[in-house]
């Protein structure tokens, strides 16, 4: 179903493909926990291109390839001619002759799209300023584990900046029949085109997409509360200004009190405790949040296996 394809956006996946990724991720996680080898990518090599640094992305992809029997090559701008001005389309065509797949973590989404256009191997978006599909799929797996396999009808409330996580969670909710509400300051709302596409996706599953400015309206009766850092990588100069703007958008005990009493809290990490989430709430839901972090490994293994296995 997914063999040989790219994974740039959850929007480009079918409902069935999302389910396939999640099912395989659960299976691979169970196999790892049971000590059962699953070397389905023996002899395969993944190139990992990083323009943005990372903890979870690098370690999970590199470990995942090892557990699947393949190998991963870490490639920074300093390691590639692309960092010295070689056209993306040339680098894509060269690496296609050496590798079996590429994951890219960068700033502009257009770079990943151009690379995928000229590459003859699967390309995985490991984060751009627009989208973070691997993390959002990981979040779906984590919600499954804590809320059950059927996600249809659950309410997910995102509170904070209308960033790449907001966008990908919109798509994720739309593909699985969840009701998604994002609460952001008016000037930091999610991208209008992403919202339009998510609303189109939602028609297939009965999901809904809503944007508000009141975090308490978003969190009311929510099954899942999600947040992210207020200043993403590349926005460090805005951090102090953003702290003032986003202060009302903190996940704390008061916000949690209006959610469903069985609600879970999620954060893709790194977390700035005392800013987007309080330390006490972070610790109260540490099991969920660090399951979420671990699940990057299992979800990405599923993606790699589906895209790259023979």
Per the annotation, where are the binding residues for L-ornithine? 164, 228, 232-233
DSSP string for residues in 143-191: HHHHH-S--TT-EEEEES--SHHHHHHHHHHHHHT-EEEEE--GGGPPP
Active site residue 38: no
Binding residues: 54-57, 81, 105, 132-135, 164, 228, 232-233, 268-269, 296
Alpha-carbon span 239 to 229, nearest angstrom: 10
> Which of 26, 135, 250, 300 is flagged as catalytic?
135
First CA to last CA across the chain, in angstroms? 12
97 CB contacts (<8 Å, ≥6 apart)? none
Alpha-carbon span 159 to 120, nearest angstrom: 39
The count of other CB atoms within 10 Å of the CB of residue 144 is 18
Residues forming a β-bridge with 124: 7, 103
Give the β-pairing of 224-227 and 155-159.
Answer: parallel
> Which of 11, 197, 296, 298 is flagged as catalytic?
296
Active site residue 135: yes
> Could you give the angle at which helices 286-308 and 133-147 cross, rounded to 10 degrees?
120
> Which of 11, 105, 109, 167 is flagged as catalytic?
105
Active site residue 296: yes
Instruction: Give the three-class secondary structure for 255.
Output: helix
> Which of 228, 242, 267, 300 is flagged as catalytic?
228
Active site residue 26: no
Active site residues: 105, 132, 135, 228, 268, 296
């Amino acid at each position: 179903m997914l063999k040989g394809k790219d994974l740039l956006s959850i929007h480009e996946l079918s409902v069935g493909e999302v389910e396939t990724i999640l099912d395989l991720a659960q299976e691979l996680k169970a196999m790892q926990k049971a000590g059962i080898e699953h070397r389905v990518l023996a002899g395969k090599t993944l190139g990992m291109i990083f323009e943005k640094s990372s903890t979870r992305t690098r370690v999970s992809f590199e470990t995942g390839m090892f557990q699947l029997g393949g190998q991963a090559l870490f490639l920074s701008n300093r390691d590639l001619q692309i960092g010295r001005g070689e056209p993306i389309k040339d680098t894509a065509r060269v690496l296609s002759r050496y590798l079996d797949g590429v994951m890219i973590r960068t700033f502009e989404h257009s770079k990943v799209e151009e690379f995928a256009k000229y590459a003859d191997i699967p390309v995985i978006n490991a984060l751009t300023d627009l989208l973070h599909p691997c993390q959002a799929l990981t979040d779906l797996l984590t919600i499954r584990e804590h809320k059950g396999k059927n996600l249809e009808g659950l309410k997910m409330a995102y509170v904070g900046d209308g960033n790449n996580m907001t966008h990908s969670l919109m798509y994720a909710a739309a593909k699985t029949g969840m009701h998604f509400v994002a609460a952001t300051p008016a000037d930091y709302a999610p991208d209008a085109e992403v919202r339009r596409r998510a609303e189109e996706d939602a028609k297939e599953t009965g999901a809904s997409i809503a944007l508000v400015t009141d975090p308490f309206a978003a969190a009311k009766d929510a099954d899942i509360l999600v947040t992210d850092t207020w200043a993403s990588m590349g926005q460090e100069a805005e951090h102090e200004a953003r702290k003032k703007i986003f202060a009302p958008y903190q996940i704390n005990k008061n916000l949690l009190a209006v959610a469903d009493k069985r609600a879970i809290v999620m954060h893709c990490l790194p977390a700035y405790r005392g800013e987007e989430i309080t330390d006490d709430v972070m610790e109260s839901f540490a099991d969920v949040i660090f399951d979420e972090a671990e699940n990057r490994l299992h979800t990405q293994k599923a993606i790699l296996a589906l895209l790259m296995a023979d």
